[in-house]
Structure 1
Amino acid sequence: MTNTGIRVLMVEDDEVIREATGIGLARLGYQVQGVGDGLEALELLRQLQAEDPVDAVLLDVMLPTMNGTQVCQQLRGFSSVPVIMLSARGEGIDMVTGLDAGADDYLAKPFDLQVLDARLRAVLRRSQRSAQPPAPKASEPAHAPGLSIDPHRLVVSLEGRQIHLTPTEMRILLMLDREPGMVVSRTEILTEVWGYSWDADHRVIDVHMQRLRRKVGAERIETVRGFGYRLAGGSS
């Protein structure tokens, strides 16, 4: 993937960080637009969504008028654009609230520009693949009680009722459903779903797994301590 023509909106209230990061990304071929206010960013994203959507958003947690978590929550109401949350504090609570709000990844400041580039490339690859996810085992939608996964229509039902999954949650579930009962390591999940296995905080996976368990049933996704996760019993 070449960075040329990739449009990134950076939402950061620190003008020095915003400009320095923008210059660095521009040298790597990105087209970067910056804003320093949460509400302004949300209004701009609504406008761009209707006219010419950006390819990715870098979203700081601490922002005036509306914080990054609030921006991300509202953004997810009308857009699935890849979002990387940024936080100067690097605290676990920032990561959890950011991912719960719908962010795709999280990066603590200060960060290396090359790491940011790699993370952007990874979320953009995932976004491009979302329309054509890796094919798991063949499965037909089931109306009987239980978990049903239709990999062709990307529809998941629980006890006959369709449930909404984010693209990241869907990719994780499809990956686990390929071989139900087999353990999938965190590294394998990072490599396939996030697109990288280096410089990674595995808590990103844990947060997504918690969200996925709440939606499909905690008993259906087992943690194998020290190894990874497995789907208990698979889908109907």
Structure 2
Amino acid sequence: MPRILIADDDRELCGLLAEYLRREGLQVDVVHDGASALAYLRDPAMRPDLVILDVMMPGQNGLDTLRELRLQHRLPVIMLSARGEPVDRVVGLELGADDYLAKPCLPRELLARVRAQLRRHTVEGAATLTIGQLRLLPGERRAYVNEQELSLTGAEFLLLLTLAQRAGEVIDKATLTRAALGRELERFDRSVDVHVSRLRHKLAEAEETSLRIESVRGAGYVLAGGARA
């Protein structure tokens, strides 16, 4: 059974969410601050498959915790925040969150997001894909440019994989949202745009690559600059 870690200082909400997720067949651990969440991740026996991380926690807040978490771990992270402003969502995604959900949220919706991330974190049976200098290993969830590994989150990897599988073809944001996040595109949702921005930066940092993600206004994004091997 997948193990989920909830880090939130709202103990009543944690109890409610944990009980619901356990009834749906998930193992759930609960902590109430960022330091405890990071301690779980350092313990191989307790390491979760996915983290649900509240933004506003005492001491080390959720964003600082996420920043430190991303230095060593690629597991899916869903951010929760009582502040549902678009800027807060963007900040969380820029720091490496895979998805973001405003509180209060329905346990059923959170479960759907969790299941979507878990499904997309396990890519089975897909062959190695090479586009120009880019090499993707779906089974290992690893990406290389000229044998230099890119450090990608789960959502970033799936977004890049989707673009690479249809290299040279414009893919709309709704399709990319379903592929990378496992949900439908929401109104005023900039999640894909933020993930693309991070991917562009990481590709630009790779040495000697002509690969680029181009935006097509009103249509979506396209991976250009590489030929399929």
RMSD: 2.6
Aligned residue number for residue 122 of structure 2: 128
Aligned residue number for residue 144 of structure 1: none
Q: Return the match for 1:79 from 50, 73, 96.
A: 73
CA–CA separation in structure 2 for the residues paired with 1:65 and 1:6: 28
> Is the 2:156–2:180 contact (alpha carbons within 8 Å) kept by the matching residues of 1?
no
Equivalent residue of 1:197, what SS?
coil
For structure 2, the 5+ residue unaligned runs are 205-209
Equivalent residue of 2:96, what SS?
coil
Deviation at 1:17, TM superposition (A): 1.4
Aligned residue number for residue 207 of structure 2: none
Q: Return the match for 2:145 from 136, 150, 157.
A: 157
CA–CA separation in structure 2 for the residues paired with 1:234 and 1:167: 22
Indicate yes or no: 2:75 matched with 1:93: no
CA–CA separation in structure 1 for the residues paired with 2:21 and 2:149: 40
Which deviations, in whole Å up to 9, do the C-alpha atoms of 1:59-89 show, x marking residues without a partner?
0001111011111122223322221000001
Q: Quickly say closer, same or farther: Cα 1:62–1:180, change in 2 above 3 A.
A: same
CA–CA separation in structure 2 for the residues paired with 1:133 and 1:98: 31
Indicate yes or no: 2:219 matched with 1:227: yes
CA–CA separation in structure 2 for the residues paired with 1:15 and 1:190: 31
CA–CA separation in structure 1 for the residues paired with 2:168 and 2:182: 24
CA–CA separation in structure 2 for the residues paired with 1:183 and 1:77: 32
Indicate yes or no: 2:204 matched with 1:203: no
Indicate yes or no: 2:165 matched with 1:178: yes
Percent of aligned pairs with the same amino acid: 40
CA–CA separation in structure 2 for the residues paired with 1:196 and 1:157: 29
Deviation at 1:25, TM superposition (A): 2.0
Q: Quickly say closer, same or farther: Cα 1:39–1:161, change in 2 above 3 A.
A: closer
Deviation at 1:179, TM superposition (A): 3.2
> Is the 2:78–2:100 contact (alpha carbons within 8 Å) kept by the matching residues of 1?
yes
> Is the 1:13–1:37 contact (alpha carbons within 8 Å) kept by the matching residues of 2?
yes
Larger deviation: 28-37 or 8-17? 28-37
> Is the 2:5–2:30 contact (alpha carbons within 8 Å) kept by the matching residues of 1?
yes
Deviation at 1:230, TM superposition (A): 0.9
Indicate yes or no: 2:4 matched with 1:13: no
Deviation at 1:198, TM superposition (A): 5.7
CA–CA separation in structure 2 for the residues paired with 1:189 and 1:27: 31
Q: TM-score normalised to the size of structure 1?
A: 0.81
Q: TM-score normalised to the size of structure 2?
A: 0.84
CA–CA separation in structure 2 for the residues paired with 1:55 and 1:161: 26
Q: Which amino acid aligns with 2:189?
A: H
CA–CA separation in structure 1 for the residues paired with 2:226 and 2:8: 43
Equivalent residue of 1:193, what SS?
helix
Indicate yes or no: 2:101 matched with 1:114: no
For structure 1, the 5+ residue unaligned runs are 141-146
Q: What number of residue pairs does the alignment pair up?
A: 220
Equivalent residue of 1:51, what SS?
coil
Q: Quickly say closer, same or farther: Cα 1:178–1:29, change in 2 above 3 A.
A: closer
